[in-house]
Amino acid sequence: MFQVKFFKTLRGENLVKSFLDALQAKLREKVVADIMFLEEKGYQAQRPRAALLRDKIYELRTSLGHLEARILYFFDKEIIVLTHGFLKKSDAVPPTEITKALSIRADYFLRKG
């Protein structure tokens, strides 16, 4: 089993927790269930719930009606680091969101040493 870790910025901000707190209750419950699924499956999680985007950045995909929640993440061996979340409005994940996840990944490994 994998361990899920919510990334925290240098200032202590937990972007995923803030995202989850802002969601309506039903969608939040479904996203949390998908996070638990990801923790259990790890690299074996695949579409429609998870997908590799690029450069070792993955997306956790949760849908409820017309709402499309995404949490981006990466692996550090047996640890799944959740970077941030957003509500998707188009078919593709915006490049700015992938760039943000890549920046968080670089910061994580820099601070880890």
Write down the domain spans for the chain: 3-112
Least confident segment among 25-29, 30-34, 64-68, 94-98? 64-68
Tokens describing residue 3: 């361990």
The CATH code of the domain at 3-112 is: 3.30.2310.20
Distance, in Å, from the CA atom of 57 to the CA atom of 10, rounded to the nearest integer, reads: 21
- Closest alpha carbon to 85 in 50, 107, 60, 66: 60
Q: Among all chains, which residue has been given the structure tokens 């990944």?
A: 105
Query: In this predicted model, which residue has the larger pLDDT, 1 or 80?
Result: 80
Average pLDDT over residues 50-56: 97
| pLDDT above 90: residue 12 | yes
Answer whether 0.85 is exceeded by the pTM.
yes
